[in-house]
Amino acid sequence: MTAESATEKSLLVIGLGMIGGSVLRSARAHGSAEVILGYDSRDDVNLLAYEQGVVDNRPAALQELIAQASMIVLAVPPMTFPAVFTELASIGVADGTVLTDVASVKGPVLDACRQFAPELLSVFLPAHPIAGSEQSGLMASKVDLFKQKKLILTPHADVSNAAAHRVANFWGSLDCLLAELEPDLHDDLLASTSHLPHVLAYVLVDSLLLHPETDRLFEFAAGGFQDISRTASSDPTMWHDVFFSNKECVLAAVEQFEKRLALFKSMVENGESQRLFDMLSTAKKGRDNYLAKYRS
């Protein structure tokens, strides 16, 4: 999919965290919308967004902002979608307004739309920018967060071509590299490459905090620990929601990991030297290939 430059009349981002804020900053920098609006459930965040020049609007009621928006981006934690769709359905969205989102899960977000705002399905094309960091909050947002980063669109049977086209153009205007996946496949793949790694990082730190010598443990931790634990500094609300929303895929990925960890243990316990060496070598090759193919 290629993108054309696009100018929306008015962009509204709901949820002014790190990702939502970055959408706004990037949209302003790229001229992706004439008017740049934002809304957060926290008043202090709405004020900050206005004072920092991230949005054009002073803090306002969601209803007022929705009435002006031609493009709405939902940037709230996954489990907030039912409430947001309920509110959007109740307020009503103007003809010609289209919707997208940034959540790390796609099936559950579509389900929420289908259940709480079915009339919006035809104008909603879900999206997941593969960009982020362990930081959170508006002040961590960046103008170039999405620059040349993959963005996965998950088209579905109910979205109109016109709406899909406009949403894709909008994301393309932020200099994202657009890709497409079927929503359930997205959730399956990301459970393994993103959600499982977050589980491991959180549980690793959790596990180390229970060590009787926690202080000395962290004192002598090396660079490898800093990297592998990085995502444990991510927003707990966000990841709590991802784990519950994508429960089935996350549990399947964790269980597959547990099986292989048990195999690793049995190899070490039983002194299976060659098998262990082969397991480590194959993993190294797999990781080196990934790096060479997708990160060069």
Considering only residues 3 to 62 of the shown chain, the ones binding its own copies according to CB under 8 A are none
Rg (the chain; Cα; Å): 21
270 binds its own copies (CB under 8 A): no
**Size of site (CB under 8 A) for its own copies:** 96
Q: What is the footprint of its own copies within residues 160-179 (CB under 8 A)?
A: 179
Minimum distance from CB of 221 to its own copies (Å)?
4
- Given candidates 34, 51, 64, 213, which one binds its own copies under the rule CB under 8 A? 213
Comparison of 4 and 224: residue with beta carbon closer to its own copies: 224
Report the C-alpha gap between 209 and 221 in whole angstroms: 13
Nearer to its own copies, 119 or 206 (CB): 206
Query: How far apart are CB 5 and its own copies at their closest, in Å?
Result: 25
Residue 256 within binding range of its own copies, rule CB under 8 A: yes
Phi and psi at 211, nearest 5°, equal -65, 140
Query: Which range, of 90-98, 154-162, 164-172, 191-199, touches its own copies by CB under 8 A?
Result: 191-199
36-44, 80-88, 165-173, 214-222 -> range binding its own copies (CB under 8 A): 214-222
Task: Pick the binder of its own copies from 70, 80, 154, 229 (CB under 8 A).
Answer: 229
**Binding status of residue 145 toward its own copies by CB under 8 A:** no
- As measured in angstroms, the least distance from the Cβ of 269 to its own copies is 7
212 token code pair? 């009787």
- Interface with its own copies includes 271 (CB under 8 A)? yes
Q: Does residue 119 interact with its own copies by CB under 8 A?
A: no
Three state DSSP letters for the chain: CCCCCCCEEEEEEECCCHHHHHHHHHHHHHCCEEEEEEECCCHHHHHHHHHCCCCCCCCCCHHHHHHHCCEEEECCCHHHHHHHHHHHHHHCCCCCCEEEECCCCCHHHHHHHHHHCHHHHHHECCEEECCCCCCCCHHHCCCCCCCCCEEEECCCCCCCHHHHHHHHHHHHHCCCEEEECCHHHHHHHHHHHHHHHHHHHHHHHHHHHCCCCHHHHHHCCCHHHHHHCHHHHCCHHHHHHHHHHCHHHHHHHHHHHHHHHHHHHHHHHCCCHHHHHHHHHHHHHHHHHHHHHHCC
Per CB under 8 A, the segment of 35-43, 63-71, 113-121, 251-259 that binds its own copies is: 251-259
Question: Can you tell me which of 43, 148, 223, 296 binds its own copies, judged by CB under 8 A?
Answer: 223
- Interacting residue with its own copies among 56, 144, 158, 188 (CB under 8 A): 188
The smaller minimum CB distance to its own copies, of residues 42 and 259, is found at 259
Q: Residue 203 interacts with its own copies (CB under 8 A)?
A: yes
